[in-house]
Chain A
Amino acid sequence: MKKNVSTKIINKSKMNYDLDLLKYMYKKMLLIRRFEEKAGQLYGMGKIGGFCHLYIGQEAVVVGIQSAQIEGDSIVTSYRDHGHMIACDMDPKGVMAELTGRAEGYSKGKGGSMHMFSREKGFFGGHGIVAAQVPIGAGLAFAHKYNGNKNVCITYFGDGAANQGQVYESYNIASLWQLPVIFVIENNKYGMGTSVNRSSAGDNLSDRGKAYGIKSEIVDGMDIIAVREAAIKAIEYCRLGKGPYILEMKTYRYRGHSMSDPAKYRTRDEVEQIRKTSDPIENIKVLLNDMGVVDKVLKDIDVEIKSIIADAAKFAQESPEPSASELYTDITIN
Chain B
Amino acid sequence: MTIEILMPALSPTMEEGTLAKWLVNEGDSISSGDLIAEIETDKATMEVEAVDDGKIGKLLVPAGTEGVKVNTPIALLIDSTESPHTSIKTIADKPYLEKEKITTELKTDKLITLEPNSSIITVREALRNAMAEEMRSDEKVFVMGEEVAEYQGAYKVTQGLLDEFGNKRVYDTPITEHGFAGIGIGAAFGNLKPIVEFMTFNFAMQAMDQIINSAAKTLYMSGGQMGCPIVFRGPNGAASRVAAQHSQCYASWYSHCPGLKVVSPWSSKDAKGLLKSAIRDPDPVIFLENEVMYGQSFSCPDDNNFLVPIGQANIEKEGSDVTIIAFSIMVGKSLEAAGILNEKGIKAEVINLRSLRPLDIETIINSVKKTNRAVTCEEGFPFAGIGAEISAAINENAFDWLDAPVKRVTGKDVPMPYAANLEKLALPQVDDIVNACSDVCYES
A residues lining the B interface (CB < 8 Å): 74, 76, 105-111, 115-119, 124-129, 132, 134-144, 146-147, 153, 165-166, 168-170, 172-173, 176-177, 329-334
Contact = CB atoms under 8 A, between A and B. Distances in A.
B213 A146 contact: no
Contacts of A172: 174, 176, 179
Interface centre among B171, B187, B192, B283 (most CB of A within 10 A): B187
Given A129-B213, A132-B213, A331-B259, A165 B182 contact: no
- Interface pairs A-B: 7 shortest CB-CB: A139-B186, A169-B179, A135-B182, A143-B190, A108-B223, A136-B186, A115-B221
A142 B220 contact: no
Nearest to B219: A330
A173 B179 contact: yes
13 contacts: A108-B224, A117-B218, A117-B225, A118-B225, A119-B225, A129-B213, A132-B210, A132-B214, A135-B186, A139-B188, A147-B190, A172-B176, A332-B259
Given A140-B189, A333-B283, A169 B227 contact: no
Contacts of A141: 186
B183 A170 contact: yes
A168 B178 CA distance: 10
B142 interface: yes
A142 B183 contact: yes
A278 to B, nearest CB: 34
Nearest to B172: A176
A81 B198 CA distance: 32
Contacts of A132: 182, 209-210, 213-214
Query: Which label, helix, strand, loop or mixed, suits the secondary structure of the A interface?
Result: mixed
Contact of B221 (A110, A135, A146, A153): A110
Interface of B: 142, 168, 171, 173-174, 176, 178-192, 209-210, 213-214, 218-227, 258-259, 261, 281-283
A109 to B, nearest CB: 8
B222 A139 contact: no
Contacts of A107: 221-223, 225
Contacts of B223: 105-111, 330
A143 B192 contact: yes
Contacts of B227: 333
Nearest to A327: B220
Contact of B187 (A106, A129, A139): A139
Given A134-B182, A169-B178, A333-B219, A129 B224 contact: no
A180 to B, nearest CB: 12
Contacts of B221: 107, 110-111, 115, 117, 126
Contacts of A119: 225-226
Given A132-B214, A173-B179, A330-B223, A140 B186 contact: yes
Contacts of A117: 218, 221-222, 225-226
Contacts of A134: 182
A144 B186 CA distance: 11
Contact of A173 (B174, B185, B261): B174
B197 to A, nearest CB: 15
Contacts of B168: 146
- From B185, B192, B224, name the one whose CB has the most chain A CB atoms within 10 angstroms: B224
A135 B181 contact: yes
A200 B104 CA distance: 58
A170 B179 contact: yes
A334 B227 CA distance: 11
B220 A330 contact: yes
A138 B224 contact: no
Contacts of B259: 331-332
Contact of B283 (A129, A136, A332): A332
A169 B282 CA distance: 27
Given A125-B226, A330-B224, A166 B186 contact: no
Specify which of B186, B209, B220 lies most central, judged by the most chain A CB atoms within 10 Å of its CB. B186
A115 B226 CA distance: 11
A247 to B, nearest CB: 19
Given A132-B209, A332-B283, A125 B222 contact: yes
A333 B282 CA distance: 6
Please indicate which of the listed interface residues A141, A142, A329 has the most CB atoms of chain B within 10 Å of its own CB. Answer: A142
Nearest to B310: A334
Contacts of A105: 223
Given A139-B184, A146-B168, A146-B192, A127 B214 contact: yes
B119 to A, nearest CB: 30
Given A127-B214, A332-B259, A136 B182 contact: yes
Given A110-B220, A125-B226, A138 B186 contact: yes
A172 B180 CA distance: 10
B213 A128 contact: yes
B6 to A, nearest CB: 42
B282 A143 contact: no
Given A111-B223, A140-B190, A153-B186, 17 more contacts: A76-B186, A105-B223, A107-B225, A111-B222, A135-B185, A137-B186, A139-B185, A139-B188, A143-B189, A146-B187, A168-B179, A169-B174, A173-B179, A173-B183, A176-B174, A329-B224, A333-B224
